[in-house]
């Protein structure tokens, strides 16, 4: 976290227990002590993200020359070697305004004072509070002490350095704390950042009392940025227990954070390279209007798509089959797929056009111009894209039809362990040393963090970026299988037997997702099948393709 944690700001009173005995209160600005004839100095000192190595030399000198140091005690942890006999005053984190007043008071008394903040003291931190409370303009003849501001390494730049180079081009920072800024303003700013496709850094991400705000902001970002937008998450940058991971915007919705976490969201050009992420410098080689670096090669313009078509959002085998059935019934159909692999394996038909263009709300809004209806046949667990398609359909006043493959959970639940989410699945699987994940790549990060002691085996689609991400997350190459399913009972049993699997984690993916074959193989081997329950179905969802065909025919 850079600077002060504004989430806990409060202009509370003056708790004497945090001061030395007999110390005057914060409002006593008169020069009442023995240094009356001396001009004080107030240094606003930035000590960087959390390690002495990154404290600027100018900040070091200010700390060593100071007679009084005012700080939250955590910010002194990594600069203790620079401190000597100075008077150290450490009001608690919730006393930011009092801390600023105390530093001003001491400087007016003639002391050399260092007011300390992590990160950069001028970024979401203490400098603003000091300037608000200064009695006169610093440096004017009426001023009775000097003021200097010493810059430092911010949380944004510190986290960017751990991720690679995600802020190479234009970017914005946004604090999600609503204690000093109305939440409506935060959402308004987030929306414009997303519309401009700026890379951005989110501060004050999630507190104990403000759990949902970050997800509201992420959903706003998803209205204009694709779910595969490269993002980074850093916790405790350059401090103990540092955590760094690269993920995607869509995957962030399933993750949890805290006030020590910073999120970096890329723009449409931001790229992942191994464990790093970077945004190209651009300028000379970015194509105006391009939605991704190679969009012109694979994304048709909206004008090239047929008017009056039924749009089918798929990403599953049964979704593609439904699109073909609609085309065979005489409908003009646009099949929207979510990946390059989806485009390569997509079916063909004279009445079917393929859209594998950029994701994100704005790109899909443009592409849907002239559509007749929307059929959402995405995966039952793809809640982010379903929410986006619903919003678009309502906004464009298009009929929205939801097809969801039927559940394949049997009445006989022997050998099945149902859990509500992937973190619960990880906890259940932690009792087994060798765990097979048959859930795809989307939730791999969540599982790996929640079950650090398990040896994990995975089966993924053969996409280079998916395989690379799994390896980056720590999957051993010998524990990875890249194939396109679904797979037979015999294949599952043979693979799990060869890997000596102790438990299998899967989704309720229906017949089309191969759930019955997984269950049968698990029972054959006597291993538990840990099943992550489906999210609640969309109201009015249809589970039979014939019902969807009939509904489209009635439009």
For the stretch 424-472, pLDDT in tens is 998 898 888 899 998 887 778 878 877 777 899 999 888 887 888 888 8
Residue 391 sits in the same domain as residue 481? no
> In this structure, is the dihedral angle defined by the CA atoms of residues 72, 75, 78 and 84, taken in order, positive or negative?
negative
Rounded CA-CA distance 338/315 in Å is 6
Report the helix count and the strand count for the chain, using DSSP H and E. 18, 24
Domain membership flag for residue 19? no
Question: Using 50, 70 and 90 to split pLDDT, how confident is the model at 138?
Answer: low
For the stretch 142-181, pLDDT in tens is 577 899 999 999 999 999 999 999 999 999 999 998 887 8
Which contiguous run of DSSP H or E holds residue 249? helix 249-252
**Is residue 192 scored above 90 in pLDDT?**
yes
The encoded tokens of residue 427 equal 């906890």
Residue 139 sits in the same domain as residue 204? no
Between residues 115 and 485, which one has the greater pLDDT? 115
Rounded CA-CA distance 338/443 in Å is 17
Which pLDDT does position 94 carry in this prediction? 73
Which pLDDT does position 522 carry in this prediction? 94
Residue 323 sits in the same domain as residue 273? no
Which pLDDT does position 21 carry in this prediction? 30
Rounded CA-CA distance 20/36 in Å is 20
Contacts of 397 (CB under 8 A, 6+ apart): none
Question: Using 50, 70 and 90 to split pLDDT, how confident is the model at 318?
Answer: confident
Residue 444 sits in the same domain as residue 356? no
For the stretch 70-90, pLDDT in tens is 998 888 888 999 998 899 999
Bridge pairing between strands 276-278 and 164-165: parallel
Last residue of a domain, one of 257, 278, 299: 278
Which pLDDT does position 232 carry in this prediction? 96
Is residue 398 a contact partner of residue 373, using CB atoms and an 8 Å limit? yes
Residue 448 sits in the same domain as residue 510? yes
Domain membership flag for residue 64? yes
Rounded CA-CA distance 234/156 in Å is 10
Name 233's bridge partners: 245, 263
Domain membership flag for residue 258? yes
Is residue 163 a contact partner of residue 276, using CB atoms and an 8 Å limit? yes
Rounded CA-CA distance 313/22 in Å is 71
Biggest alpha carbon–alpha carbon distance for the chain: 94
Closest to 118 measured CA to CA, from 77, 82, 83: 77
Distances (CA, A) of 371 to 231, 302, 365, 404, 546: 32, 10, 10, 21, 21
Q: What is the CATH number of the domain that holds 463?
A: 3.40.50.620
The encoded tokens of residue 422 equal 């992937």
Backbone dihedral angles phi then psi of residue 445, each to the nearest 5 degrees: -60, -50
Which contiguous run of DSSP H or E holds residue 46? strand 40-46
Domain membership flag for residue 118? yes
Average pLDDT over residues 102-122: 93
Domain membership flag for residue 13? no
Domain membership flag for residue 31? no
Residue length of the chain: 555
Q: Which structural domain range is residue 508 located in?
A: 416-532
Cis status of the peptide bond prior to 383, with omega within 30 of 0: no
Residue 122 sits in the same domain as residue 226? no
Residue 442 sits in the same domain as residue 526? yes
Please tell me the number of Cα atoms within 13 Å of 208 on its side-chain side.
Answer: 1
What percent of the chain shows pLDDT beyond 90?
52
Domain membership flag for residue 538? no
Residue 122 sits in the same domain as residue 46? yes
Q: What is the CATH number of the domain that holds 368?
A: 3.40.50.720
Mean pLDDT taken over the chain:
84
How big is the chain by its Cα radius of gyration, in Å? 28
Name 313's bridge partners: 336, 376
Closest to 148 measured CA to CA, from 263, 66, 91: 66
Long-range interactions of 412-416: CB distance < 8 A, separation 24+: 414/523, 415/519, 415/522, 415/523, 415/526, 415/528, 415/529, 416/519, 416/528, 416/529, 416/531
For the stretch 337-365, pLDDT in tens is 876 666 777 888 899 988 876 666 777 88
Q: What is the CATH number of the domain that holds 143?
A: 3.40.1010.10
Instruction: Choose the weakest-confidence range: 126-140, 377-391, 510-524.
Output: 126-140
The encoded tokens of residue 443 equal 């939730």
Residue 207 sits in the same domain as residue 244? yes
Which pLDDT does position 442 carry in this prediction? 77
Q: Decide: residue 536, CB within 10 A, 0-12 exposed, 13-18 middle, 19+ buried.
A: exposed
Residue 325 sits in the same domain as residue 216? no
Residue 464 sits in the same domain as residue 385? no
How is the beta sheet containing 261-265 ordered, strand by strand?
171-175, 199-203, 261-265, 230-235, 243-248
For the stretch 269-314, pLDDT in tens is 999 988 899 998 865 445 544 444 333 333 444 447 788 999 999 8
Between the CA atoms of 249, 254, 260 and 264, what dihedral angle is there, to the nearest 10 degrees? Answer: 0
The encoded tokens of residue 349 equal 């038909």
The encoded tokens of residue 130 equal 């000091």
Average pLDDT over residues 39-54: 92
Q: What is the pTM of this model?
A: 0.56
Domain membership flag for residue 30? no
Residue 52 sits in the same domain as residue 130? yes
Bridge pairing between strands 271-273 and 276-278: antiparallel
Which pLDDT does position 226 carry in this prediction? 86
Per 3-state DSSP, the chain is made up of helix, strand and coil in percentages (nearest 5) of 35, 20, 45
Q: What is the CATH number of the domain that holds 199?
A: 3.30.950.10
Number of domains into which the chain is organized: 4
Which pLDDT does position 53 carry in this prediction? 92
Which pLDDT does position 358 carry in this prediction? 61
Average pLDDT over residues 475-496: 91
DSSP string, 499-525: TT-SEEEEE--TTTTTHHHHHHHHHHH
Helix, strand or coil, per DSSP, at residue 552: helix
């Amino acid at each position: 976290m850079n600077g002060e944690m504004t989430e806990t700001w409060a202009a509370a009173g003056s708790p004497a227990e945090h001061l030395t005995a007999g110390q005057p209160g914060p409002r006593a600005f008169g020069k009442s002590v023995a240094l009356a004839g001396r001009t004080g100095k107030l240094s606003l000192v930035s000590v960087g993200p959390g390690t002495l190595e990154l404290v600027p030399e100018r900040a070091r000198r200010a700390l060593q020359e100071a007679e009084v140091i005012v700080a939250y005690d955590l910010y002194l942890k990594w600069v203790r070697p620079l401190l000597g006999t100075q008077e150290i005053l450490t009001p608690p984190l919730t006393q930011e305004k009092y801390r600023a007043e105390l530093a001003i008071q001491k400087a007016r008394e003639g002391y050399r004072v260092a007011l300390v903040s992590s990160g950069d003291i001028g970024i979401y931190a203490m400098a603003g509070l000091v300037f608000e409370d200064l009695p006169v303009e610093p440096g004017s003849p009426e001023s009775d002490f000097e003021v200097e501001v010493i810059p430092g390494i911010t949380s944004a730049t510190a986290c960017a350095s751990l991720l690679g180079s995600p802020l190479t081009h234009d970017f914005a920072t946004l604090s999600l704390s609503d204690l000093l800024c109305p939440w409506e303003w935060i959402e308004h700013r987030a929306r414009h950042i997303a519309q401009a496709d700026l890379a951005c850094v989110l501060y004050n991400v999630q507190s104990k009392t403000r759990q949902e705000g970050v997800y509201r902001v992420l959903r706003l970002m998803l209205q204009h940025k694709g779910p595969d937008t490269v993002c980074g998450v850093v916790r405790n940058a350059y401090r103990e227990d540092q955590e760094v991971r690269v993920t995607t915007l869509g995957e962030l919705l399933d993750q949890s954070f805290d006030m020590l976490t910073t999120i970096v969201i890329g723009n449409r050009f931001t790229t992942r390279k191994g464990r790093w992420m970077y945004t190209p410098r651009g300028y000379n080689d970015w194509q105006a209007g391009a939605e991704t670096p190679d969009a012109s090669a694979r994304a048709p313009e909206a004008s090239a798509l047929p008017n009056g078509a039924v749009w089918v959002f798929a990403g599953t085998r049964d979704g593609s089959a439904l699109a073909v059935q609609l085309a065979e019934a005489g409908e003009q159909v646009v099949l929207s797929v979510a990946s390059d692999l989806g485009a390569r394996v997509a079916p063909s038909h004279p009445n079917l056009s393929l859209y594998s263009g950029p994701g994100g709300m704005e790109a899909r809004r443009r592409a849907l111009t002239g559509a007749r209806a929307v059929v959402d046949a995405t995966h039952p667990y793809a809640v982010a894209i379903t929410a986006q398609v619903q919003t678009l359909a309502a906004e464009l006043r298009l009929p929205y039809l939801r097809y969801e493959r039927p559940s394949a959970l049997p009445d006989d639940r022997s050998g099945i362990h149902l859990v509500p989410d992937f973190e619960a699945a990880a906890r259940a699987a932690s009792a087994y040393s060798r765990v097979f994940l048959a859930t795809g790549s989307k939730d791999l990060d969540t599982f790996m963090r929640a079950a650090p002691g398990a040896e994990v085996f995975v089966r993924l689609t053969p996409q280079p970026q998916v395989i690379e991400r799994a390896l980056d997350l720590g999957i051993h190459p010998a524990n990875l299988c890249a194939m396109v399913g679904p797979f037979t009972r015999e294949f599952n049993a043979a693979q799990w037997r060869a890997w000596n699997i102790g438990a299998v984690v899967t989704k309720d993916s229906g017949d089309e997702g191969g759930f019955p074959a997984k269950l049968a193989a698990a029972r054959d081997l006597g291993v538990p099948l840990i099943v992550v329950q489906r999210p609640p179905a969309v109201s009015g969802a249809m589970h039979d393709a014939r019902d969807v065909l009939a509904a489209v025919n009635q439009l």
